[in-house]
Amino acid sequence: MWSSTDIPDQAGRVALITGGYSGIGLVTARELAARGATVVIAGRDRERAAAVAGELGGWPLYLDLGDIGSVRRASGEFRDRFGRLDLLVNNAGLMIPPYGRTGSGFEWQFGVNHLGHFALTGLLLDLLRATPEARVVTVSSNGHKGAVIDFEDLQSERGYDAMRAYRQSKLANLLFAFELQRRHPELISVAAHPGAARTRLLRSSPWVFRVVVSQRTKALFSWLVQSEWAGAQPVLRAATDPGVGGGEYFGPDGWKEFTGRATRVTAEENAHDLVVARRLWVVSEGLTGVTYPAGAGMLADGP
């Protein structure tokens, strides 16, 4: 079975990781840097990004995914420094916080988890397309299962259910990853999820969740929740395994994909709905103001 010991040499590759200073993103950054990649640590916390970038010999990049203006500035700064982008890991995210809106006016989870990454990928798309064998890895969740995209209330203005909004955003991640591959087959666009991992992502969760992921209960719930390192393995496989193909999805191989070794998994049918994916794409372009160029896939298939 695959593990991070199988990661090939990454020398010469440039990897941009959103949220690369904590949790799954930090493990991913460290593993890539250890194998020679130049890592760009992108996020809102300037000090933490600078500290991790310094530790890994990489670069910090200020990026607020909730502010489309910030996303534009960050992509411009990246362009000024680097002439290539081998790997974009759309990792940063929020999970079931209290209701709030981003700087661009979007519901927090939909805005940060999906729209910010949609905009960032689009603004860096030409660099990705110009870099041979470039990959985009979008981190989703088991939470996409049973979720729907509520086009009539994307911003949860009619009533906020934190978990429902989270699940919608994670379904949006998968719809985006698979649609990106269809539109731009010259890239490798894949998705991954960490299963149930013990990270800071659950800091806003109900008390029952916090108990389960607490370090104090680690031994009791080891069958249900795994470490940050283990949770990062599907992301790392998606990012580095030479055998990965576009449109694939990776997660743990254990019970209900909560824990286990990194393997190919199957997204639910709702993540492969072409009508929903294309409608979400058009809506996302309208909301962010980031328009993607026509790709080879769309030229072949039509809009």
Residue in 21, 99, 160, 166 annotated catalytic: 166
Instruction: Say whether 166 is catalytic.
Output: yes
Cβ-contact 134, 87 below 8 angstroms: yes
Give the strands of the sheet with 188-192, arranged side by side.
59-62, 38-43, 14-18, 87-90, 135-139, 188-192, 249-252, 262-264
Copy the structure tokens of residue 95. 């999970």
Cα(288)–Cα(151) distance, integer angstroms: 15
Other C-beta atoms lying within 10 Å of the C-beta of residue 261:
14
Residues 6 or more apart whose CB falls under 8 angstroms from that of 198 comprise 213, 215, 218, 225, 226, 227, 228, 231
Task: Kindly list the catalytic residues.
Answer: 166
